[in-house]
Every structure is written in C-alpha cells, then in structure tokens.
Structure 1
Amino acid sequence: MAAHSHHHHHARTQDGIDWSTRLAFFRQADELDAEARRVVARRLVRPLPDRPTVLDVGCGTGGMAVALVEALSARGGGTLVLVDGTPEMLDAATSAARSAATYEGDTATAVVKVRPVLADLATERPVEFAGPAQLVWASNVVHHLPDQRAAVAGLVEAVSPGGWLALAEGGLEGKFLPWDLGVGEPGLSARLSGARAHWFTLMRENIEGSVRLPGGWNTVLADLGMLDVTAFSYLIDHPAPPKQAVRDWAVNQLKWHREVAGDLLHPSDRDAVRRLLDPQDPAYLGLRDDVFLLMANTVHLGRKP
C-alpha cells in the first residue's frame, strides 16, 4: 500500500518488520498521497468544534499529519498529537507537521500545536497520550496489533463524547504493474498480490497473542457502541506514463514485495522480479513508462455517543 504508517517501540517489532528502515519509502508515499489526503483531512475536520484536539495514531512519517495541520489552520487552529513507536518516524512526522504549522505564520493567527508522543499501541492506552480527542485518526495501524478489536476499543476510549474515530483500513490493494511486462509470465502483479496476502496471513498468525477479528471494521465499530457508522474511500491515481517519483515508489514497492513474500513466488517469477529490480537490465522498473500507481483506501467512521 502506498500509505502505510505503523508504530512500535522496538526496531524489530512483534510483526517482524523493522519500520525504521522504511523511512524513505514512507516519505515517497506521503508525497504521492498528499493531494488525496488533503481532501480527506478537510472532510474529517469539518464537523469538529473550534480549536479541537486531533490524535494521529501511528503517524508514520507524517503525511496525514501535514494534511491535518493544514485543515486545522484553515479553520482557526487546534492541537495535533502525533503517536508512533518508531523514534525515526515520529521525528520525521513532527518536523513535517511543525513546518506546515508555521508555514503562513506571519499573516495568519491560526496556530496548530504539534505534540509528539513515543508510544507502543500494543501495550499503551491511546487515551493516556492526549486525554479525550475530538478526532482520532488511525491509518493501517490496527492490523499490526495482536488483538485488533481491543486496539479499536482503545482508540474509541480516546475519543471525547460526540467526537469521531476515523479508521483507515482496507480498500483496494495498490496496483502498479501492467498485466504483461514483457518479462517472465504475464500476470505477475496478481501473483505478487497472492503471495503478499499469504504472507500477511502468516504475519498475523505469528504475532504473539494474535486474535482474529470477528468481522468487518464497521461491525467492530458498531459493537463498540459507535453511532453513525459509515465509510468512504479515496483514490490515489498516478497514471502511466509516470513521473519519476512514481517509478521510484514502484521500485521500492516491488523490493518490499520481494522482501516479505519473495520466497512464496515460483522461481520464474523470482527471476522476473530480479530483472525488474536490476538497474542494468533493459526491463528495469525505474526507467519504464508503463508503471503507475492506482489504489483506493477506505476510511471507517464512527461517532462516540
């Protein structure tokens, strides 16, 4: 996925992923997702009271934090609390958000306070990070925690009465490769997706204390007492021929697929991936005109009574 922000204290976490090594990749994704996220941030901030407190849980490198700062600035300010468990991620998000907050400081009186909190969601309660918030945003965070329903319950606890929880989970997996690359067998993209889905299932099973989710995210929100439960999806669409940022993202995305699920691929697919990632090969992804980025992210919303 383009926008994956995760968090934990330890460099190597329970899900086995060293998030600090993914910093450059997340920054790249933030840049490509920026326009779509601005629209989402404005939509989420619109119903909030004046000068609200917003909690961005698992803020990653701060792509959504910047969008939230801009949306809050435009309506008179507020407080943004950033939470992540990887210090490098949290630092990146904090400086990005703070520079957005002071961007028009000489003319505007709107001030958004940005407060970073280093914390591990698997062991700490979000309500302790900021007290009740009028909006809690958590994107692609919960599915890395052992008990996902308990994690959502913790997020609900951090929402003030009448406030909103916005849970960005699921959608349509990002596509970035054409059906036939002229290398290996056609349909590599679908087989990569299958391998990654298999890896994800194994990753969930191997998290210590892992508990299966009883159903879809909307039913979880409703079961936890949230009202007006609904969802919307937003598109990230960078068509071919791509700008170089999209090519670079595609190279890193394919490397990530290879890293997590490469051994689940047929040897001929592994060979095709090796060629696509070789800068000396004519098939190299970083120079192709037929790569793109197309994905849909879903945001599940609920309001606290």
Structure 2
Amino acid sequence: MTHASPHPAHGSAHPAPTPPDTPDAGDQSEILDLDAEVLAEHNASITAWLPVERAPRHVVDLGCGTGAGTFALLARFPGAEVTAVDASAGHLERLREKAAALGVADRVRTVSADLDADWPELGRSEPVRPELVWASASLHHMADPDRTLRRVHDLLAPGGLFAVVELAGFPRFLPEDAPKERPGLEERCHAALAHRHAEQVPHRGADWGPKLAAAGFDVEGERTVTVRVEGSRDEAVGRYALSSLRRLRAGAAHALAAEDLAALDRLLDPGSGHGVLRRDDVAIRTERTVWAARRRA
C-alpha cells in the first residue's frame, strides 16, 4: 500500500504490498487516490531529491497502489517506463484507468504479485534492467523485508538506485484539544491500536539504512520530510481525513469508551456542522523518511 500511501497508509503475514495499517482491509482505492491528490507536492519533492546519476529508462514501483508513486516518477523522468507491482487487481485496474486518462498508458506495465511469495519477472532478463526501484509505504508490510531487499539488489542494474519511502505512522488530522467534548480523542484511538500494530506490522518504524547496507547497498542519502497540509488550502483534506478516521474507528472501536465512540461518530457524520468535512482546523500531519541506496556497480 506513494502509500505515501498513508497507512495504506496502507498488515498481515501474507500482505498485499499496500495494505492498510488498520485491521479492516477492504478496498483502499478511494483513500489511495486521495493520498495521491493531497500529497502530490510532497511526492514530487521526494522524486526531485533522488540522487539519480542519469535519468532511468526503466523504473519499478513495488506496492504501487493506485499509482501515486508511479505517476510522480513518470512526471519526474519523462523518458522512463514504469513497471507497477501490486497484489490488488482493483488497484492495478484503477492505475491503468488513470494512466489512460493521463495519456501515459504506453509507459506503464502492471504486474499482479504477492511480493512475499515467488517474485514475478520484473526486468532482469529485459534489454533494460531497472535502474530505479521505488518502494513507498510497502516494505514494512513484508513478512521478510531483508529477503525483499536482497531481491531488489539482484533486480537492479549495477549502479542502480533503490528509493525507500516510509511513514512515521498513521497521519493525524485534529488538534490535540479536539473535539471540544472529548479532547485527545484521536490519540486515544491510536493508543487503542498500538498493541495490534506492534504484532501485525512489526517492521513499521524500522531504520532501513543498516538493513539496506546489509543487503549490499551503499546508502547515499536519508531525508525526513515533515508533512502538513491545511484543510483550508485543499478541500480534499477533509475527505481524506473522513476516510482515514472511518478506518481508524473500525480498528479502535473495541477499545474505546462509549463517550469517545459517540464523539468520533459526530466527527464522521458528513452532515454534521461539527464533522471533519466542515471543521476549519483539520490538517494532515505526519512525517515521511526517504532512503536512497545504490547497488554497487
């Protein structure tokens, strides 16, 4: 599951590359599309920062979701073709639809695969091996991420770059003192899920630098990007917050007090004047860390 996914975001022992960090899997296409929309500027800044030595001709996007990273990479490298990999047929179909609408369908190849199982052919035997592999919010879902890193190392062309983008966690949307009748509600929801996340997604928050080095990469750069997008700047932020908090509620409801659930339901009511769609203090707050690692020539 960029994702930045978000929480696609986007955990289980047999994950799709872009699953949610909440227990209700379901279809994530809507939230992934919203993630791409509201974080487009941040995705572009990350791709612009990548220390590429020359523009790649073949890029692989592992855990592509509905294409946030794929389309950012196509825009950054107009001469490249992207192989987009995900376990969800629905995500890949949505990605193909968007590629056609943008006029770049001829530059995108989709591959359906569970990256914890046998890997598909992603370019090792092609005339142009991948010179760039991108994995956004997907590595921490792998059952054996060290094995994944080794496979990426073997897949890349010598001297190729591996870009790993990971989130600090599920984004926050409300001020700490919100809502007025139940201050701190959002943090209590996250606390209710903390134990489950530690069990189901144990690699979230890992320091990927040493892991990349152990897999044979030279880590050439690491960057942490602070993300804050105000709802007053982009109306899609409210829809993104609504979709995300609905998923959070589904995972945390079992551990919340009745008063918290009632307050959360008021926030999730699209018709309420107190709901997230109408609040003027909603913002996306999170961090993304990016590692750029090169396969030795």
Q: TM-score, normalized by length of structure 2? A: 0.84
Q: Distance in 1 between matches of 2:175 and 2:190?
A: 13
1:96-119: CA deviation from partner (whole Å, max 9, x where unpaired): 23544549xxxxxxxx72111111
Q: Distance in 2 between matches of 1:303 and 1:249?
A: 34
Q: 1:260 is matched with which residue?
A: 251
SS in 1 for 2:216: coil
Quick check: 2:55–2:77 contact (8 Å CA) kept in 1? no
1:225 paired residue among 199, 216, 233: 216
Go from structure 1 to structure 2 and tell me whether the alpha carbon gap of 1:91 and 1:218 turns closer, same or farther (over 3 Å shift): same
Q: Does 1:116 pair with 2:110?
A: yes
Query: Sequence identity of aligned pairs in percent?
Result: 27
SS in 2 for 1:61: coil
1:146 paired residue among 143, 147, 151: 143
Go from structure 1 to structure 2 and tell me whether the alpha carbon gap of 1:119 and 1:151 turns closer, same or farther (over 3 Å shift): same
Structure of higher RCO (CA pairs closer than 8 Å, 6+ residues apart): 2
Quick check: 1:69–1:97 contact (8 Å CA) kept in 2? no
Q: 1:84 is matched with which residue?
A: 86
1:36-63: CA deviation from partner (whole Å, max 9, x where unpaired): 111222333x624355211001110111
The one-letter amino acid paired with 1:118 is S
1:18 paired residue among 20, 25, 28: 25
SS in 2 for 1:287: coil
1:239-274: CA deviation from partner (whole Å, max 9, x where unpaired): 253532111111111101111222132332222112
More deviation in 138-147 or 89-98? 89-98
1:77-131: CA deviation from partner (whole Å, max 9, x where unpaired): 022111111011012223323544549xxxxxxxx721111111110326x2222
Unaligned runs of 5+ in 1: 104-111, 206-211
Quick check: 2:17–2:86 contact (8 Å CA) kept in 1? no
Quick check: 2:58–2:132 contact (8 Å CA) kept in 1? yes
Q: How does 1:56-75 map to 2 (within 5 A)?
A: 56-73=61-78
Q: 1:106 is matched with which residue?
A: none
Q: How does 1:69-218 map to 2 (within 5 A)?
A: 69-73=74-78, 77-100=79-102, 102=104, 113-125=107-119, 128-131=121-124, 132-171=129-168, 173-204=170-201, 216-218=207-209
SS in 2 for 1:176: coil
The one-letter amino acid paired with 1:32 is V
Go from structure 1 to structure 2 and tell me whether the alpha carbon gap of 1:197 and 1:152 turns closer, same or farther (over 3 Å shift): farther
1:36 paired residue among 42, 53, 57: 42
Quick check: 1:144–1:204 contact (8 Å CA) kept in 2? yes
Go from structure 1 to structure 2 and tell me whether the alpha carbon gap of 1:115 and 1:198 turns closer, same or farther (over 3 Å shift): same
Normalized per residue, the structure richer in helix is 1
Quick check: 2:238–2:282 contact (8 Å CA) kept in 1? yes
Q: Distance in 2 between matches of 1:11 and 1:133?
A: 21
The one-letter amino acid paired with 1:61 is T
Go from structure 1 to structure 2 and tell me whether the alpha carbon gap of 1:11 and 1:60 turns closer, same or farther (over 3 Å shift): closer
Structure 1's consecutive aligned runs of 4 or more residues displaced over 4 angstroms after TM superposition are 5-13, 212-215
SS in 2 for 1:37: helix
How many residues in Structure 1 have an aligned counterpart in Structure 2? 284
The RMSD of aligned alpha carbons is 3.0
Q: TM-score, normalized by length of structure 1? A: 0.82
Alpha-carbon shift at residue 138 of structure 1 (Å): 0.6
The one-letter amino acid paired with 2:266 is R
Q: Does 1:246 pair with 2:237?
A: yes
Quick check: 1:164–1:302 contact (8 Å CA) kept in 2? yes
